[in-house]
A = this chain, B = another copy of it.
Amino acid sequence: MVRGRISRLSVRDVRFPTSLGGHGADAMHTDPDYSAAYVVIETDAEDGIKGCGITFTLGKGTEVVVCAVNALAHHVLNKDLKDIVGDFRGFYRQLTSDGQLRWIGPEKGVVHLATAAVLNAVWDLWAKQEGKPVWKLLVDMDPRMLVSCIDFRYITDVLTEEDALEKQMLAQGYPAYTTSCAWLGYSDDTLKQLCAQALKDGWTRFKVKVGADLQDDMRRCQIIRDMIGPEKTLSLFLQMMDANQRWDVPEAVEWMSKLAKFKPLWIEEPTSPDDILGHATISKALVPLGIGIATGEQCHNRVIFKQLLQAKALQFLQIDSCRLGSVNENLSVLLMAKKFEIPVCPHAGGVGLCELVQHLIIFDYISVSASLENRVCEYVDHLHEHFKYPVMIQRASYMPPKDPGYSTEMKEESVKKHQYPDGEVWKKLLPAQEN
């Protein structure tokens, strides 16, 4: 089935000027332009199938990730796809452990984002060749093959290959929550209006950005609580809060103690994503108040997730499809979460993150966790129109995608228009911004 030699890799800097509308703003990222390093790989198989991969960025710096993808390209070019997926662990190790390149990571930041973009393209290509969406490719895969995609380096103290094989289970739309209503850049009126519309559309779980100003937070959380009703977090009507790393450890505890009365299910990213012990301290203080800790969207690799689990530092684990090393590394995290019995509630939104992560979470449900308890996947209603196979939401749930691949492919027209700095959109915007 798997065929062809990788004959071409291209990477483009695609940016959407979302900051113009205040979309995506939070306490730390005040003016994001949702962007992507967009990788396309082609083979000599003459079947016309291309693998598309992205990693998500916030505008500036996308060119640095593009540069890193080019630095990785020689590991992919002229390789048979069969050899790549036949020894996927070895290929993963090659990408992440290049003796020279690993110094500028290792397995973190720019090079790891670039690794994700490249590997996402490989998974898309593989799944398209098999004629299956990625989640189905994973679900159907022989467990030994599945486990052979994972690099267990640095996590064998909590998860070994034998462990992983035992975790294989089977069971069978995935519940979603929305972050679209309460960006920090929105006025109270916009917040109310979007929230009312979302309730009408069947949404029951809402996330609000906090952390910039306590009085603002209290007012905004009250608005949402008023609109969704007074129920406690275990009801269907949920409120989550997200500080985007704004606080130091003592500050997080203090601030959230004041927001506890709005009964959030979780506080997300209360402090530095690197601070495992800090999250454990915050968790110890807030769990008795009924608030869980969620983090992961900026956790840079499996080693950080391993420790967050070991230290009991989180109650909800948020994988990211574009920061970890693609499906391969996310598999290891899903399996560790299962072992520690922590629900996985992925980070999504951005550009394409919903499209990609739905494959992982549906796989998690069918083959790993077999549970929806306390599980919910983020959803943000932006930029889906630029994808060839956009996410399908029905009754506030992700419907399993049916098209082959990883849902990563963008419309060529969208890419051309938003390519930075030469696309039509930026050609118009850049001179205006310079004035």
Alpha-carbon distance A58/B112, docked complex (angstroms): 17
Taking CB atoms and an 8 Å cut-off, the chain A residues in 101-134 that contact chain B are 101-113
Which one of A168-176, A200-208, A273-281 contacts B? Answer: A273-281
Asked if B307 and A275 make an inter-chain contact with CB atoms under 8 angstroms apart, the answer reads yes
Give which listed residue, B64, B107, B248, B249, contacts A104 with CB less than 8 A: B64
Asked if A106 meets B298 with Cβ closer than 8 Å, knowing A67-B64, A99-B58, the reply is: yes
Chain B residue numbers with a CB within 8 Å of A112 are: 109
Asked if A303 and B274 make an inter-chain contact with CB atoms under 8 angstroms apart, the answer reads yes
Asked if B103 and A58 make an inter-chain contact with CB atoms under 8 angstroms apart, the answer reads yes
Q: Does A57 contact B (CB under 8 A)?
A: yes
Q: Does A250 contact B (CB under 8 A)?
A: yes
Give chain B nearest CB distance to A431 CB in angstroms. Answer: 17
Q: Does A63 contact B (CB under 8 A)?
A: yes
Give which listed residue, B156, B249, B300, contacts A156 with CB less than 8 A: B249
Give chain B nearest CB distance to A300 CB in angstroms. Answer: 7
Among A157, A248, A276, find the residue whose CB has the most chain B CB atoms closer than 10 A: A157
Taking CB atoms and an 8 Å cut-off, the chain A residues in 29-64 that contact chain B are 29-33, 56-64
List the 9 closest pairs (A to B, CB-CB), nearest first: A109-B109, A110-B110, A60-B100, A59-B100, A157-B249, A154-B272, A58-B103, A67-B67, A274-B303
A interface with B by C-beta (< 8 Å):
28-33, 56-65, 67-68, 71, 97-113, 152-157, 245, 248-251, 271-278, 281, 298, 300-301, 303-304, 306-307, 310-311
Q: List 11 A-B contacts (CB under 8 A).
A: A56-B103, A58-B101, A58-B102, A58-B104, A61-B100, A103-B298, A107-B274, A108-B274, A108-B300, A275-B306, A277-B310
